[in-house]
Amino acid sequence: MVNGRLSRNRQSLKTAIEQFEGKNVTIIIEKTRSKRSNDQNRYYWSGVVPIVHRGLKDAGYAISKDDTHLAMRAKFLSEPIPMEDGTYIDKFKSTTELTKSEFSDYIESIRDWAFDYLGVTIPPPNTQIELL
Protein backbone atom coordinates (compact mmCIF):
# COMPACT_ATOMS: atom_id res chain seq x y z
CA MET A 1 0.00 0.00 0.00
CA VAL A 2 1.35 3.43 -0.94
CA ASN A 3 -0.30 6.69 0.13
CA GLY A 4 -3.42 4.81 1.23
CA ARG A 5 -3.86 3.09 -2.15
CA LEU A 6 -3.22 -0.48 -3.21
CA SER A 7 -0.14 -0.54 -5.37
CA ARG A 8 -0.18 -4.23 -6.37
CA ASN A 9 -2.73 -6.95 -7.10
CA ARG A 10 -5.60 -4.49 -7.60
CA GLN A 11 -7.22 -6.56 -10.35
CA SER A 12 -6.91 -9.78 -8.32
CA LEU A 13 -8.63 -8.11 -5.37
CA LYS A 14 -11.42 -6.75 -7.60
CA THR A 15 -11.96 -10.21 -9.14
CA ALA A 16 -12.07 -11.86 -5.70
CA ILE A 17 -14.63 -9.37 -4.41
CA GLU A 18 -16.84 -9.77 -7.51
CA GLN A 19 -17.26 -13.48 -6.69
CA PHE A 20 -19.34 -12.49 -3.66
CA GLU A 21 -21.85 -10.30 -5.53
CA GLY A 22 -25.08 -10.03 -3.53
CA LYS A 23 -23.66 -11.73 -0.42
CA ASN A 24 -22.60 -10.37 2.94
CA VAL A 25 -18.85 -10.64 3.37
CA THR A 26 -16.20 -9.82 5.93
CA ILE A 27 -12.95 -8.39 4.68
CA ILE A 28 -9.88 -8.56 6.91
CA ILE A 29 -6.84 -6.48 6.10
CA GLU A 30 -3.69 -7.21 8.03
CA LYS A 31 -0.01 -6.59 7.69
CA THR A 32 1.94 -9.36 5.98
CA ARG A 33 3.96 -11.27 8.53
CA SER A 34 7.35 -12.71 7.78
CA LYS A 35 7.07 -16.44 8.52
CA ARG A 36 9.84 -18.49 10.04
CA SER A 37 12.76 -19.00 7.69
CA ASN A 38 13.95 -22.25 6.16
CA ASP A 39 17.25 -21.82 8.05
CA GLN A 40 15.35 -21.53 11.34
CA ASN A 41 13.33 -24.63 10.51
CA ARG A 42 16.48 -26.61 9.59
CA TYR A 43 18.17 -25.56 12.84
CA TYR A 44 15.10 -26.57 14.83
CA TRP A 45 14.77 -30.03 13.27
CA SER A 46 18.49 -30.84 12.96
CA GLY A 47 19.77 -29.24 16.16
CA VAL A 48 17.12 -28.37 18.73
CA VAL A 49 14.75 -31.34 18.47
CA PRO A 50 17.46 -34.06 18.37
CA ILE A 51 19.27 -32.63 21.41
CA VAL A 52 16.06 -32.28 23.44
CA HIS A 53 15.06 -35.78 22.30
CA ARG A 54 18.35 -37.22 23.53
CA GLY A 55 18.01 -35.30 26.83
CA LEU A 56 14.52 -36.67 27.37
CA LYS A 57 15.62 -40.21 26.55
CA ASP A 58 18.58 -39.88 28.94
CA ALA A 59 16.10 -38.72 31.61
CA GLY A 60 14.14 -41.96 31.12
CA TYR A 61 11.37 -40.86 28.76
CA ALA A 62 10.47 -43.20 25.90
CA ILE A 63 9.64 -40.60 23.30
CA SER A 64 10.03 -40.19 19.54
CA LYS A 65 11.48 -37.13 17.83
CA ASP A 66 8.03 -36.22 16.51
CA ASP A 67 6.59 -36.51 20.03
CA THR A 68 9.47 -34.37 21.30
CA HIS A 69 8.37 -31.67 18.85
CA LEU A 70 4.74 -32.03 19.98
CA ALA A 71 5.77 -31.85 23.64
CA MET A 72 7.71 -28.63 23.01
CA ARG A 73 4.71 -27.15 21.19
CA ALA A 74 2.46 -28.09 24.09
CA LYS A 75 4.86 -26.58 26.62
CA PHE A 76 5.72 -23.35 24.82
CA LEU A 77 3.03 -22.69 22.21
CA SER A 78 -0.24 -23.38 24.03
CA GLU A 79 -2.99 -20.82 24.38
CA PRO A 80 -5.92 -21.32 26.77
CA ILE A 81 -9.29 -20.95 25.03
CA PRO A 82 -12.21 -20.19 27.38
CA MET A 83 -15.28 -22.39 27.03
CA GLU A 84 -18.89 -21.43 27.79
CA ASP A 85 -18.92 -23.51 30.99
CA GLY A 86 -15.99 -21.56 32.46
CA THR A 87 -13.39 -24.22 31.72
CA TYR A 88 -10.50 -23.88 29.31
CA ILE A 89 -9.03 -26.01 26.59
CA ASP A 90 -5.54 -25.58 25.21
CA LYS A 91 -4.96 -24.66 21.59
CA PHE A 92 -1.48 -25.43 20.33
CA LYS A 93 -0.03 -23.04 17.78
CA SER A 94 1.78 -24.61 14.86
CA THR A 95 5.39 -23.60 14.32
CA THR A 96 4.44 -22.87 10.70
CA GLU A 97 2.28 -19.99 11.97
CA LEU A 98 5.14 -18.27 13.77
CA THR A 99 6.96 -15.20 12.52
CA LYS A 100 10.76 -15.22 12.44
CA SER A 101 10.83 -13.35 15.74
CA GLU A 102 8.26 -15.64 17.39
CA PHE A 103 10.13 -18.71 16.17
CA SER A 104 13.41 -17.34 17.57
CA ASP A 105 11.69 -16.75 20.93
CA TYR A 106 10.26 -20.28 20.83
CA ILE A 107 13.68 -21.80 20.20
CA GLU A 108 15.26 -19.66 22.92
CA SER A 109 12.60 -20.83 25.41
CA ILE A 110 13.37 -24.45 24.53
CA ARG A 111 17.13 -23.85 24.85
CA ASP A 112 16.66 -22.29 28.33
CA TRP A 113 14.32 -25.05 29.47
CA ALA A 114 16.57 -27.83 28.14
CA PHE A 115 19.54 -26.37 30.03
CA ASP A 116 17.60 -25.86 33.28
CA TYR A 117 15.62 -29.11 33.36
CA LEU A 118 17.53 -31.60 31.24
CA GLY A 119 21.05 -30.32 31.79
CA VAL A 120 21.73 -30.16 28.06
CA THR A 121 23.14 -27.28 26.09
CA ILE A 122 21.73 -26.56 22.67
CA PRO A 123 24.36 -24.64 20.71
CA PRO A 124 23.32 -21.51 18.85
CA PRO A 125 22.57 -21.70 15.12
CA ASN A 126 25.48 -22.16 12.68
CA THR A 127 27.53 -24.12 15.23
CA GLN A 128 29.00 -27.45 14.14
CA ILE A 129 28.14 -30.26 16.56
CA GLU A 130 28.30 -34.01 16.43
CA LEU A 131 25.60 -36.12 18.03
CA LEU A 132 26.88 -39.48 19.21
What pLDDT does 125 receive? 85
User: CATH class for domain 34-118?
Assistant: mainly alpha
What pLDDT, in 10s, does the model give residues 44-102? 999 999 999 999 999 999 999 999 999 999 999 999 999 999 999 999 889 998 999 99
Q: What angle do CA 39, 77, 26 make, to 5 degrees?
A: 95
Say if residue 73 is exposed, middle or buried (CB neighbours under 10 Å; 0-12, 13-18, 19+). Answer: middle
What pLDDT does 32 receive? 62
pTM: 0.69
What pLDDT, in 10s, does the model give residues 109-131? 999 999 999 999 999 887 665 65
The residue ranking higher by pLDDT, 33 or 13, is 13
Q: Where are the domains of the chain?
A: 34-118
